[in-house]
Amino acid sequence: MRIIALQGSPRKGGNCDVLIDEMTKGIEENGGEVIKYYLEDEEIAPCKACMYCAENPDCVRADDGNKILDELVAADGVIFATPIYYGQMSAQGKLIIDRFYSIGQNPDKKLSGKAALIFTENQPEGTYKDYIELTKISPFGFMGYDVIGHIDAGSAGPAGIVKEEQEDKLKEAYELGLKF
């Protein structure tokens, strides 16, 4: 089992990163492999909506986004982690999500398998409940993933604070990893 982890926070060692690592422990315990992409470090251009992808195997953008999309198509699932900034996922996360368009336009490519989502936010847990539920439906459910769960780590401002103050979220992440 091969899972692709998309780390949408610009901070390495931050709360998204910590929670992905805990989820990874559960996946690896079940014999799975996780490949993590720090989206901040990847060259991912925005979707142009040019429709090149409807007639060609890849997006017209010759960047790391195509590599990641090919990895997602070949994988058995995805972990998507993002902080919530101003009510939405990070710009880094949104760039790769918008590039899902090239998969949706290509009849030879599809996303499938299990998906687990991680959201961190400065606000109390549940503040963005509706946004999280919508994100589970679209893009993830819409694109073919079976969303097996999500983590909502509220009040997680300072980098790495989930290690010190939210052990319950670490446990949730590990247990969700076991479901892959």
The b/e string for 11-36 (b: 16+ C-beta within 10 A; e otherwise) is beebbbbbbbbbbbebbeeeebebee
pLDDT tens, N- to C-terminus, the chain (180 residues) = 999 999 999 999 999 999 999 999 999 999 999 999 999 999 999 999 999 999 998 899 999 999 999 999 999 999 999 999 999 999 999 999 999 999 999 989 999 999 999 999 999 999 999 999 999 999 999 999 999 999 999 998 888 889 889 999 999 999 999 999
The pair of structure tokens assigned to 103 is 């998969």
Containing H/E element for 88? strand 88-89
Predicted structure pTM score: 0.97
Which domains does the chain possess? 2-178 (3.40.50.360)
Q: What whole-number distance in Å separates Cα of residue 73 and Cα of residue 160? A: 31
Residues 38, 43, 44, 46, Cα dihedral to 10°: 140
